[in-house]
Structure 1
Amino acid sequence: MLRRAVRRKDKTSETKRQGTEDAGEDTEGAKKVLRTFQDKKTWKAARKAKEESALEELVLGRRQEEPTDRLQDAEDQSEDPASEGSDDDVDSLGVVDTREAAWVDDDDDDRTRVEKTSDVPSWAQTSQGRKRQHQSDDDSDEELLQHTGDLLAESSALPRGNINIKRCSDVNKTYPHQGPVRRVEFHPSAQVCLTAAQDVLGLFQVDGRNNPKIQTLHIEKFPIRTAHFSTCGREVILASTFKWFFVYDMIAGKVLKIPKIRGVDDTSLSRFEVSPDGRFLLFLGKNGFLHLLSAKTKECVSSLKMNSDVSAATFSKDSRHLYSVGDDGEVYVWDVGTRDCIHKFVDEGCTHATTIALSHNSKYLATGSQSGVVNIYDTQRALTSPYPTPLKALLNLTTPVTQTTFNHTGEVMAMCSSEVFKAARLVHLPTLSVFSNFPEADSMVKRVQCLDFSPHSGYLAMGNNQGRAMLYRIKHYKNF
């Protein structure tokens, strides 16, 4: 009996000790889970602040220790369809940040949902890491010169005939679009390019090889027709076939909806231009109206009126003059300060104009038409005659001209038509001749929808009808 009582006592003591140990383990496990959760929140907050700081530095040009104007030639590399089409590359960290738009129209019940995804590209590094990379780049300058030849040499006059151009990885390689790319545009000061297709805006860092995704912006039920960077580079303005438009503040990460503009009766504001001085947004309305908005307040300050429907418009580099063309082929020249039409002339042979572009030095003026003809004028002569004769009528395109644009030196003009395959050409302006080797026998060109030169012509981007933003390196120019 005594032995049995002792055994029971020992078992009871052991059971109590085991229970105490189990309770201690549960408490310790809960503490570990709590610490893990807190660490994860702290890590997420720190990483979010790091991303915003890195984007602000990239866009505003605060990275003094890392040069952005020197380019490295992209290496020859085969395209990998599996990697380009894979969703695994979209966000390697699996982070999705959803924000609601900042609404200014209280009567709009159908609020557009805005979703922004972002990952950490190569530029999002610590300052010490970027400094080490900069030192490494300095050490390899001599080797880079040996491998790239004329890449670091001073640019001289661009030769005619064949242009020294090379295909690089697509701008949106890490995030291909599902529909036609409506707009490609380079940032005015940073090595960044935007692409717009359907309801998606993409921002990419351009390095010619990987072109990592910086951000994507999804605006539901808002098919983007036109997208432009603001002149300061902080904002992206987005327009569609509605009477409202959106402004995306890249630094703050906020999207602002601008409702119906007071004093503007148009129900569709799908086309607009940004003045180079950053003061105005110009929306092309119906019935010949051009609406001049303050870029700061987004309010209409004046409306100009043509005698025909507006086809296209462009500002001069100093923003003092505005050139617009109507579907009847008449070109209007406006004084932006007084809002007066100071000159008007007829585009020779044009029955329906589609595009107009002015070179940065205002030397050349180009107009495109429904028939595919592109007329190039000497601007000074065109401003002194109601019926000027073009320097050259380019007949290389046979379908409606979609876009014409000049590079920063006025040596190259790009033009395209979106209705047929490979309808894109580069023109050597000093001789008014077309480069014979572009585009080459590249089956991926397809139908070109839009194009743009980088600020110093180091790159050319072209968006096609299959969601690709193709990138080309123009080796004659050393800077981005």
Structure 2
Amino acid sequence: MEQQVERNAGAGRLGLAWLDQETRLEKGLKADQLHASTRHTAEVIDGGPLSASFGSFSLSTVLRDMEVGTKRRKISPEEHKKAAELEEFLFGTGADGLEGFGKEGEQAVEDSIANLVNEAGNEAEDDSFDPDDLGNLVFEDRTGLSSMAELDGRGDQAAEGATARQASAGQAGPSGRRKPVWDDPDDAQARINISGRNRLRKLRVHEAEAVLSGPDYEERLREQHAKLHPRTSWARKGRKQKKPIGDGIDADAAAEDLLQGAGPLLGKSAKLPMGRIELTRVKDANHEEPSRAVVQSVQFHPSGQLLLTAGFDKHLRFFQADGATNAKVQSVFLEDMPIHQAAFCRGGSQAVVAGRRKFFYIFDLGAAKVERISGIFGRDERSLESFVTCPTPAADPLIAFLGRDGCIPLVSLTSRQAVGSLKMSGTAKTAAFSADGQQLITSGGDGIIHTWDMRTRRCLGRAVDEGCLACSALALSPTGTLQASGSSSGVVNIYANQSSPLSQGTIDTGAAPTPAATASPIRSLLNLTTTIDSIAFGPDSQVLAMASRMKRNALRLVHLPSMTVFQNWPTAQTPLHYVHSLAFSPGGGMLAVGNARGKVLLYRLHHYPSI
């Protein structure tokens, strides 16, 4: 096989040398140079494997005889036959191919010249011009354009697919919720234990629930975040457009829809859910200047975010309670009186400050002026530390001080003088005004609650607080429908104001002592075991806060529609300490708690949109 390949290669080189010789002769090269090149090729072939194929036949001898200028010898028939075999082996032609080698080239040249002459003559005879003849002169290659079109088509399809995917990634699905841009398949296999950590236990629906899958865990986190951080009204999706009245909807239905959508304008909020209350602690209200003693009083301004704080450090402070910065607005130092109680009056334009002294102070917020009132004329009261103020900005608002021997002096804020007094059967320990300022309820050590008409200064009725040995706190709801009383034993009774014997309208004429009626509460709360010192209703009468300063973290929130206590707050980790005062903001969104450490804790109630 290798000899055959070498034989073919040698024959090819010989043929190339032969043809190369003819070409160089046509170009006028010297004969001796051509002969030398050809001889060299022949010698290489004779010394290779091809020499065995031709026996004694030598290419060098043949070429030497063909050199120009040498005497040609006569070729024998045997050599001529071997030359013919070599020619047939090289060129694959017949025996006469060598004889016509030169003639074929000359004949081809002559035929080509004759064809050109004939074509020129034919063109000269035909003078007409056909534009179609130029069609073969220009060729338009459309293969590249077609491939580019295919690529452009694929690119357009890919771009359209990408655009569709981007559009569909943010569009809402059939359920109204946006489709996720990307899903991790490992989330479905994840298992999260929510019972092992305190921060995750609030995600449980029931106490036995322990493990959640990845999607369920994500959904619970979203629900918890929505409860703690509700969306504002302007960020909610707009309601669907209602059909006009002429399209089958009557005027009554349209009016009903209008009233249903005007809830915020009418002041009606949604119902507070029972069982769990969602709230978050924000920055302390007095973090810029904490009290150096017990915070005895906290109260929100009736029309804004201004918060009043006062305590035994003799300072009356005002803070802008927004939950974010809680900047201090003003501070007043009363050198000669540790403050036991402070409250707004005259619609929030003034503040009354009292302590265990025979005098009290009135601070004007607009003028930033402090006025000292030297006691009550005609009364020898050793202490004016307890009082209540009329909540309405009436023409002549009153202050009701809790004096000795069941006497309740009434002082006008206009004249700064006593304008009357009320007399109870027992000692006066606590009192509360109604929201309109027309009624006053008082109670004391005998456990009897008195209801007073402030227009006639007469007692409307008396009732025994059921199960109460000594009443220590009273409160009336802003809506006027509920009354709450706290006792020294920790029991809090809630009464319905419209059906209670406290307001049946029986007038005590004083001619003969009438026996006190027995009032049956609609609910008795036994969650606290020490003396109730503070009770406060929420602005919509849906929540009630009650606290005792005798025990640590003794504060509870009550859901009034169901008359049950919220179970999730406060927790064991809530840093309430010993609660001495509390108050709700006008909008219900804030709860302020003053404790014995001198801090005013501030909590955001997420059910209420406004502060």
- State if a TM-score over 0.5 links the two structures: yes
- Tell me the residue number matched to 2:348: 233
Asked whether the 8 Å contact 1:358–1:366 carries over to 2, the reply is: yes
2:275 to 128, 138, 161: 161
Specify which of 202, 224, 230 is matched with residue 339 of structure 2. Answer: 224
Structure 1 residue 148: Cα displacement: 3.6
What does the per-residue CA deviation read over 1:241-289, in whole Å, with 9 as the maximum and x for residues that have no partner?
1110001112211111000221222111001111122311111111001
Q: Deviations over 1:311-352 (max 9, x none)?
A: 111111111111111211000011101111111110001111
CA deviation after TM superposition for structure 1 residue 200, in Å: 0.8
Partner of 2:230: 149
Task: Give the match for residue 105 of structure 1.
Answer: none
Pairing of 1:242-281 with structure 2 (within 5 A): 242-278=357-393, 279-281=397-399
Partner of 1:426: 557
Q: Aligned equivalents of 2:227 and 2:422: distance in 1?
A: 55
Q: Does 1:387 align with 2:518?
A: yes
Pairing of 1:27-426 with structure 2 (within 5 A): 148-152=229-233, 155-198=269-312, 199-278=314-393, 279-382=397-500, 383-384=503-504, 386-426=517-557
CA contact (8 A) 1:150 1:476 kept: no
Q: Which has the larger radius of gyration?
A: 2
- The aligned residue for residue 446 of structure 1 is 577
For 1:195, give the aligned amino acid: T
Give the aligned residue type for 1:194. L
- The corresponding residue for 1:474 is 605
Q: Distance in 2 between matches of 1:252 and 1:351?
A: 45
For residues 325 and 147 of structure 1, do their structure 2 counterparts lie closer, same or farther at Cα, with a shift above 3 Å needed? closer
* Distance (whole Å) between structure 2 residues aligned to residue 276 and residue 406 of structure 1: 14
Q: Distance in 2 between matches of 1:388 and 1:444?
A: 37
Which residue matches 2:256?
Answer: none
Give the partner amino acid of 1:191: Q
Larger RCO (alpha carbons 8 Å, 6+ apart): 1
| Offset from partner CA, 1:400-449 (integer Å, 9 cap, x none) | 00111101110001000001110000000010000111112335210111
Please state how far the C-alpha of 1:231 moved relative to its aligned partner.
3.3
**8 Å CA contact 1:369, 1:401 repeated in 2:** yes
Secondary structure of 1:225's match? strand
Q: Secondary structure, in 3 states, of the residue corresponding to 2:230? A: helix
Contact between 2:319 and 2:330, CA under 8 Å: does it hold in 1? yes
Gaps of at least 5 residues in structure 1 are 1-144
Whole-Å separation in 2 of the counterparts to 1:470 and 1:457: 15
TM-score (norm 1): 0.68
- The amino acid of 2:470's aligned partner reads H
Q: Distance in 2 between matches of 1:316 and 1:194?
A: 21
Q: Letter of the 1:343 partner, please give it.
A: G
| Displacement of 1:232 | 2.1
Report if the CA contact (8 A) 2:227-2:278 is conserved: no
Q: Distance in 2 between matches of 1:146 and 1:440?
A: 18
For residues 22-60 of structure 1, give each alpha carbon's deviation from its aligned partner in whole angstroms, at most 9, with x where no partner exists. xxxxxxxxxxxxxxxxxxxxxxxxxxxxxxxxxxxxxxx
Of 449-458 and 229-238, the range deviating more from structure 2: 229-238
Gaps of 5+ in 2: 1-225, 237-263, 505-515
Aligned to 1:124: none
Paired residue secondary structure (1:324): strand
Aligned partner letter, 1:219: L
Instruction: Describe the superposition over 1:165-211 as per-residue Cα deviations: whole angstroms up to 9, x where unpaired.
Output: 11011000000111110011101112110111110111000110220
Matches of 1:454 and 1:201, distance apart in 2: 19
The structure carrying a bigger helix percent of its residues is: 2
Alpha-carbon distance between aligned partners in 2 of 1:341 and 1:443, rounded to the nearest angstrom: 43
Residue identity over aligned pairs, in percent, reads: 39
**Superposed CA offset, 1:121-151 (max 9, x none):** xxxxxxxxxxxxxxxxxxxxxxxx9994245
Structure 2: which amino acid aligns with 1:215? Q
Contact 1:192 1:204 in 2 (8 A): yes
After superposition, give the CA deviation of every residue in 1:67-103 in whole Å (9 maximum; x if it has no partner): xxxxxxxxxxxxxxxxxxxxxxxxxxxxxxxxxxxxx
Paired amino acid for 1:214: V
Measured on the aligned residues, the alpha-carbon RMSD in Å equals 1.8
Contact 2:286 2:599 in 1 (8 A): yes
CA–CA distance in structure 2, aligned partners of residues 351 and 147 of structure 1: 41
Distance in 2, matches of 1:189 and 1:295, equals: 20
Helix, strand or coil for the counterpart of 2:591? Answer: strand
Q: Is the contact made by 2:347 and 2:391 (CA closer than 8 Å) also made in structure 1?
A: no
For 1:159, the aligned partner's letter is P
CA distance in 1, matches of 2:228, 2:388: 40
Q: Would you identify which runs of 4 or more consecutive aligned residues in structure 1 move more than 3 Å?
A: 145-148, 150-155
- TM-score relative to the length of structure 2: 0.54
Decide which structure has greater strand share: 1
